Amino acid sequence: MKYYLGIDLGSTTSKAVIVNEHSVVVGRGITNTRANYEIAAEIAKQQAIYNARFTLLKEKVGKHLLSKKEYQKFFNDLENVFQYLQFKNRFEKLTHEMIRQSEQYKEKKELTPILTQLLKDMEKELYKKYLHENLGNKNHFFRDIVSEKYNEKLDQCDKKYFETLMNVFDKSINPVENEIVEYDFQQLIHEGTNILKEHYHELLNSDIDEIASDFRSELELLSGNYNELKEDLLSHIENIAKENIVIENMVGTGYGRALLPFPQECIRSEILCHAFGAHAIFPKTRTVLDIGGQDTKAIQVDEYGMVTSFHMNDRCAAGCGRYLGYIANEFGLSLNELGPLTLQAKRETNICSTCTVFAGAEVRELLNMGEKKENILAGLHKAIVTRAMSLIARSGGARNEFTFTGGVARNQAIVKYVSEFIHNNYGKDITINIHTDSIFMGALGGALFAQKNIKVELDTKKAKAS
Amino acid sequence: MDKIEKIVEQCKDILCDINYTVPKQWKNKEKNRVLVGYLPIYFPREIVWAANGLAVGIMGAGDFKQVVKGDAYYQSYICHMPRGIIDLALDGHLNDFDGFVFPSICDVIRNLSGIFQVEKIGKFSKYLDYPQNFNKEIGGKFYKSELEDILEKIYQINKIHVEKDQLNEAIRLYNINRRYLRIIYDIRETYPWRLSAYELYVIVRAGLSMPVNEHNQLLEIVIEEINKERGVPMDNIRVIVWGAFCEQMPLNLIKSIESAGCYIIDDDFFIGSRWITKDIDDHSNDPLNALTEAFLNNSTFSSSVYDVDNPKEKRLVELAKQRKADGIIFASPSFCDPALLDTPLCQKHCEKNNMKYISFQFSENTGQFKVIKEQVGAFSDSIKLWEDITV
Amino acid sequence: MSTTKEVKKDKSMLLQKEMIAKQFHDLTTAKEQGKKVVYTFVPGNLSELIHTFDMIPVYPEINALQSGMRKKSGSFIKDAEKIGYSEDICTYVKCDVGMMINGNIGPYGEKIPPPDLLLLSYTGCFTFMKWFENLERLYPGVPVAMLHTPYQEGGKITPEMTEYMVKQLKDEVIPKMEKVSGKKYDEGKLKQILSYAKETQELINQIFETPKHIPSPIDAYFAGVYYIGPINTGFRGTPEAVEYYKLLLEEIQERIKLGLGPVTPEGEMTEEKFRLVVEGPPNWTSFREFWKLFYDMGAVIVASSYTKVGGLYDLGFRHNPDKPLESLAEYCMNCYTNFNLPQRIEILKKYIKEYKADGFLVHSIKSCNSFSAGQLAMMRKIENDLGIPVGFIESDLVDPRYFSYSNIKNRLESFFQMLHQRKIMNIKN
């Protein structure tokens, strides 16, 4: 089997998608974009390859087994634990680095023990989050997971060391985050199965209330069949781990594409990739809206997924994903909390400035006047969508099926307003597509371009030589 | 609720009505009536009235409408007003209008006339190029030919030939309108508390969307009421607000300026309604000529008209002195080339003449006024303080 | 693609350099030679009339663009903003004001003499009028002659418009020029100058027709702005200009014969991949980088509206020595930004068809409302009518803060890849 890789290096996240020669997605990976684009791309790619191995593993295990609920659960848990083990490895490196850093300080005698204890607690709590709350399957990034927990811990700490402990973290996180660690797939699976075995055992013996009853039956099945399952799995795992996933061709795209360590001919504009990806998933798509971190794009495509026209936001980045991040900060919320809270709004406060500079002041004034948080948020969300809709209008409106992609499509409130606008302005019969993986559309388009080997030259060096 | 409050309420409904119900009802009462929308600043509405039509001021969608389609027409560095106007047109709010006149204010408004032509909005869109030459035989003749062109366009719609008497009658009615406005501004010069700037604004603006005779009746009542005592004098400073002649301020911004401690005793919000500063001859044998001469000789000043022989900064400071203003507030719409290019000249002249001033930028849909209010409040306080020290 | 590294200077380039050097010498020594200096604008300029009175024209917007190319505009603009000019407004004006308050040292380092006459022939740009009101305050007492050019709002030039302009010329402009120069208006001399102008116009029109050839021998935008230099800035109506354009045309015809592509700063373009029509002025502060984004991709601009700001000769206008004042008037009204939007759309559509363009690109300028306001509507209309791929980028004339290289590159890359895909699909179908 041949494999093809697409990498979408966005301003906030880097995504990788692997497709096989039949254009089927077999692996996906995502990480936060950082100063070093090469590392972000590499980590996303690594994730996608692990993910591909899981896909292969599932294929090998066979459909008949996967149709059983307990097997589904097991695979889900296994991927989760797999993520955990990677996390754990990196967290150990972080612990090591932070303790080393803390020893550089005058007050190390008091500081280091506090820090050591704090990190130990964190490790325990995060273990729980992985094992009990399925954290590994939520696409959260190492940096976000640790910094959220660390901040929480610092709040409970003696304020005397607050600054120092912050500094220690800041100094350590970058090198640790940017280290590329190769894992042995087989070994992690082994470790993972062992952890799961123990975990299931523990769960079954724990208080019955902790486990939902329908879950319990699966657990019992899993526990009972565990050895059988493990054997079944292990027979395949060796083959899968050994299988060399060779990338035949690849295409890079996204905001940082020029910085990708790819040959020039493998780089393509994100406009083409997003459109191609969206069109592959929803072939009747004729209009694509992509709201990413840095850019908003309105794209029209033909029946082959080829771009016929496009419009991007102007100089001003208001109305892009970045703006949502800014709003979240202004309200002291995380990005994931924005959508659900906004959906609780009774009405939308009228917000005039989508300018990041002015909106802050406007928000503070509204809060002072006693306006409800969720209503202001609703107004802000609506303002972003209004900007995007003017781009859609510029590009010629929405036709046939409308597909909404990009990281911002994960925000349910944005989705709600986009749907309202599209239906109100372009008719109720327009189908609106939003895929759970809409954030991967650019990378998918890239992978498909790589697979179809559709040459779109952007090459200057190569051409010059000719 | 006193009489004025009732009128204000009525006027506010008219100006907030983006469907232009009042003019449309007027039009539908009689066959052959036409509606001609005109953009700021000045347009001799008399010629439309004489042709059995009503000239209706299109002052933008303000903060009354969420603009989506209009944004698709303009880059972020162009002012807000034309977006709202395009949005109104594309959403059908300007249906029933027969034509549009775009007086020469700036390149954005000029090109908006082209967008109306491209999008085929209305039966005609006419860019009215004010002559920047004020010689009767040169600029005057050109201006008159421009007015004739508009009359011809209306004729093509309702086949009404405009006679001398109808024009003279229209001039008479608009003379009354202008005269009443002069009286109101003059009363407010002495008793600014009797009619707030907000009330005045709403009343004048409603006049852009209603038959002139009906507006005259309203103004008559207003004059009667403010000739009597009304309201309570406050320790406010007296200011002139200048620069918002095209894209309009949000209503709440006007209120904010007042509540920050200012009496706005003159402004250029609807300078077009007060453009001609003296009565126009309404018994002339050639009324178009009378309108032309009024434009050439009795116009007020504005950023959109060439002024080298009579610089506007001088006229502005003179006006401020005549109105006994304590200061000038330069309030310009963002990205407004004419207003913003005039501001440095005017400010320099203010400094020379010890006229105090502040300046800020706004857009018609600005939603937060806190910063501006603080700025205006500080301006007001500093002037009061300065007076206390010098007295 | 794209270019050979060998850069050879054509004779015409050297000649143009000489001409400009002499022009600047004349300007800086004007006072010693007893010559009067007239400040005026490029679009609708009355160079012929100025020459008739032996005066020397200065074009503030050319100074501004030169300052932009020499990386001086950024600080001039900031200086103007310091004295109250808003960040929102035209940066040509601010650059000019900034240069004046810094001693009026021109782009070549020489002090530009103050004006003896401000000739405000304002064509197609309302801001010109505001600009001159500002200049008038900077040079109190200097006479101002105003020539109002009516806009082609109805899509045509009416007799009333011409009459209005001719009267202004006769009664306002010429008497002021006589007074300032101390010379009587000599119509015979003007006629002679206009016949040179006519010849120049004929030649430049032929030059801008050559990109109809495939491959195009010239870039009608990036090189085009150099070609329009002499005709727009004071040389129109001189024998030197005729000589220059003859030489240039010969060189271009030679390129066609040899099948050569356009000359770029990095040598000759060897493969023409995309033929574009561009609407809007270029950016001056990063002119070379901007150009490079195109020739690196094998894109050549075959026609542009910007090179018509100083006159649209392809629609047939020529100065007519037999009707000197009428033709001056008509010239003013025939500059690109004095055409209304429906006319501009038709002109661009004509270029796209006649020059066989693969794509249409708008370069929208923050400073220039005259160009920019309405460009999005024009673009959509052109896209709908012709089904041609369109692209949209924005920056500014001389404010370096508004040129975002990565932003423009990102959009251009997508545009060119879209064009490429479309070309492939067209071939397949």
Average pLDDT, consecutive stretches of 10 residues, N- to C-terminus, chain C (429 residues): 62 91 89 94 94 95 91 94 94 94 84 94 91 91 95 96 97 97 97 97 98 97 96 93 97 96 93 97 96 96 97 95 97 96 98 98 96 96 95 94 89 93 74
Residue A139 has what pLDDT? 77
Report whether A10 contacts A33 (CB < 8 A).
Answer: yes
A268 vs C3, C380, C417: nearest CB: C417
Of the residues B63, B64, B67, B68, the best mutation for testing chain A's interface (the one with the most A CB atoms within 10 Å of its CB) is B68
Backbone angles phi, psi at C57, to 5 degrees: -85, 145
Residues 39-98 of B with CB under 8 A from A: 63, 66-72, 75-76
- What SS3 class is residue B268? coil
Judge: A421–B63 Cβ closer than 8 Å, yes or no: no
Backbone angles phi, psi at C331, to 5 degrees: -60, -50
- Picking from C264, C83, C46, the residue whose alpha carbon sits closest to that of residue C173 is C46
Give yes or no for residue B274 having a pLDDT over 90.
yes
Mean residue pLDDT of chain A comes to: 85
> Which residue bears the tokens 């932070």?
A98
Closest Cα in chain C to B80 = C373
Q: Which of A310-324, A413-427, C58-72, C176-190 has the highest mean pLDDT?
A: C176-190
Judge: B344–C126 Cβ closer than 8 Å, yes or no: no
Give yes or no for residue A461 having a pLDDT over 50.
no
Rounded to a whole number, what is the distance in Å from the CA of B276 to chain A's nearest CA? 36
H/E segment holding residue C37? strand C37-39
Q: Which residues contact C182 (CB under 8 A, 6 or more apart)?
A: none
Mean residue pLDDT of chain B comes to: 95
Residues 263-282 of C with CB under 8 A from A: 271
Could you read off the pLDDT of B152-194 as tens digits, one per residue? 999 999 999 999 999 999 999 999 999 999 999 999 999 999 9
C427 touches chain A (CB under 8 A): no
The amino acid at B364? E
B119 touches chain A (CB under 8 A): no
Residue A315 has what pLDDT? 59
Residue A232 has what pLDDT? 72
Residue C295 has what pLDDT? 96
- Picking from C365, C374, C368, the residue whose alpha carbon sits closest to that of residue C395 is C365
* Pair of tokens at residue A280: 């592959």
The rounded distance, in Å, linking the Cα atoms of C291 and C420 is: 19
Chain B CB contacts of C88 under 8 Å are 77, 334-336, 340, 361
CA C290 from chain centre, in angstroms, equals: 17
Burial of A361 (0-12, 13-18, 19+ CB in 10 A): middle
Adjacent-strand bridge partners of C365: C395
Closest Cα in chain B to A385 = B68
Judge: C126–B107 Cβ closer than 8 Å, yes or no: yes
B73 touches chain C (CB under 8 A): yes
DSSP string, C346-358: HHHHHHHHHTT-S
Chain A CB contacts of C389 under 8 Å are 308-309
Judge: C417–A396 Cβ closer than 8 Å, yes or no: no
Buried b (16+ CB within 10 A) or exposed e, B161-200: ebeeebbbbbbbbbbbbbebbebbbebbbebbebbbbbbb
Judge: B63–A350 Cβ closer than 8 Å, yes or no: yes
Closest Cα in chain C to A455 = C421
Collect contacts of B211-218 with beta carbons under 8 A, ≥24 apart. B211/B26, B211/B54, B212/B45, B212/B49, B212/B170, B212/B173, B212/B174, B212/B177, B213/B173, B215/B177, B216/B173, B216/B176, B216/B177, B216/B180, B218/B7, B218/B10, B218/B11
Residue A184 has what pLDDT? 86
Report whether A47 contacts A31 (CB < 8 A).
Answer: yes
pLDDT band at A463 (very low <50, low <70, confident <90, very high): very low
Residue C1 has what pLDDT? 46
Q: Give the distance between the most distant pair of CA atoms in chain B.
A: 67
Chain A CB contacts of C425 under 8 Å are 302, 304, 306
Residue C121 has what pLDDT? 86
Residue A196 has what pLDDT? 85
Q: What is the dihedral of CA C167, C169, C173, C177, to 10 degrees?
A: -130
Give yes or no for residue B247 having a pLDDT over 60.
yes
Burial of A67 (0-12, 13-18, 19+ CB in 10 A): exposed
Of the residues B39, B41, B108, B138, the best mutation for testing chain C's interface (the one with the most C CB atoms within 10 Å of its CB) is B138
Chain C CB contacts of B361 under 8 Å are 86, 88
C3 touches chain A (CB under 8 A): yes
* Strand pairing class (C299-304; C37-39): unpaired
Buried b (16+ CB within 10 A) or exposed e, B278-291: ebbbbebeebbbbb
pLDDT band at A353 (very low <50, low <70, confident <90, very high): low
Of the residues C79, C117, C153, C404, the best mutation for testing chain B's interface (the one with the most B CB atoms within 10 Å of its CB) is C153
Judge: C417–A271 Cβ closer than 8 Å, yes or no: yes
> Which residue bears the tokens 């935008």?
C221
Judge: B75–A389 Cβ closer than 8 Å, yes or no: no
> ipTM greater than 0.90, yes or no?
yes
C133 touches chain A (CB under 8 A): no
* Pair of tokens at residue C96: 């000019």
> Which residue bears the tokens 């016949």?
C195
pLDDT band at A383 (very low <50, low <70, confident <90, very high): confident
The amino acid at A407? G
C83 vs B114, B135, B344: nearest CB: B344
* Pair of tokens at residue B136: 């009767």
Residue A112 has what pLDDT? 92
Q: Looking at per-residue confidence, does C9 or B208 come out higher?
A: B208
The rounded distance, in Å, linking the Cα atoms of A309 and A271 is: 10
Residues 308-367 of B with CB under 8 A from C: 308, 311, 332, 334-338, 340-345, 347-348, 361
For residues A413-431, average pLDDT: 93
Chain B CB contacts of C144 under 8 Å are 308
For residues A351-375, average pLDDT: 74
Judge: A358–B368 Cβ closer than 8 Å, yes or no: yes
- Picking from B239, B163, B165, the residue whose alpha carbon sits closest to that of residue B197 is B239
* Pair of tokens at residue B68: 């989506």
For residues B197-206, average pLDDT: 97
Q: Looking at per-residue confidence, does A358 or A82 come out higher?
A: A82
* Strand pairing class (C267-268; A25-32): unpaired
Collect contacts of B212-220 with beta carbons under 8 A, ≥24 apart. B212/B45, B212/B49, B212/B170, B212/B173, B212/B174, B212/B177, B213/B173, B215/B177, B216/B173, B216/B176, B216/B177, B216/B180, B218/B7, B218/B10, B218/B11, B219/B177, B219/B180, B219/B181, B219/B184, B220/B180
Report whether A55 contacts A26 (CB < 8 A).
Answer: yes
C283 touches chain A (CB under 8 A): no
Report whether A45 contacts A5 (CB < 8 A).
Answer: yes
Give yes or no for residue B391 having a pLDDT over 60.
no
For residues A182-209, average pLDDT: 81
Judge: C127–B145 Cβ closer than 8 Å, yes or no: no
Chains that touch B (3 or more CB pairs under 8 A): A, C
Judge: C414–A269 Cβ closer than 8 Å, yes or no: yes
DSSP string, B131-145: -S---IIIIIHHHHH
DSSP string, A221-236: HHHHHHHHHHHHHHHH
The rounded distance, in Å, linking the Cα atoms of C305 and C295 is: 19
pLDDT band at A465 (very low <50, low <70, confident <90, very high): very low
CA C169 from chain centre, in angstroms, equals: 23
Chain B CB contacts of C364 under 8 Å are 75
Judge: A270–C418 Cβ closer than 8 Å, yes or no: no
Burial of A461 (0-12, 13-18, 19+ CB in 10 A): exposed
Could you read off the pLDDT of A261-271 as tens digits, one per residue? 777 778 888 89
Burial of C10 (0-12, 13-18, 19+ CB in 10 A): middle
Chains that touch A (3 or more CB pairs under 8 A): B, C
Within 13 Å of residue C306, how many CA atoms lie on the same side as its CB? 28
Chain A CB contacts of C3 under 8 Å are 464
DSSP string, A104-149: TSTTHHHHHHHHHHHHHHHHHHHHHHHHHH-GGGTT--HHHHHHHH
Could you read off the pLDDT of B280-333 as tens digits, one per residue? 999 999 999 999 999 999 999 999 888 878 899 999 999 999 999 999 999 999
Closest Cα in chain A to C418 = A307
Q: What is the DSSP letter of C251?
A: H
Give yes or no for residue B246 having a pLDDT over 60.
yes
Rounded to a whole number, what is the distance in Å from the CA of A271 to chain C's nearest CA? 6
Residues 264-293 of B with CB under 8 A from C: none
**Pure H helices in A33-68:** 37-61, 63-66
A189-193, B311-315, B343-347, C266-270: segment of lowest average pLDDT: A189-193
Could you read off the pLDDT of A287-299 as tens digits, one per residue? 999 998 878 999 9
Residue A418 has what pLDDT? 95
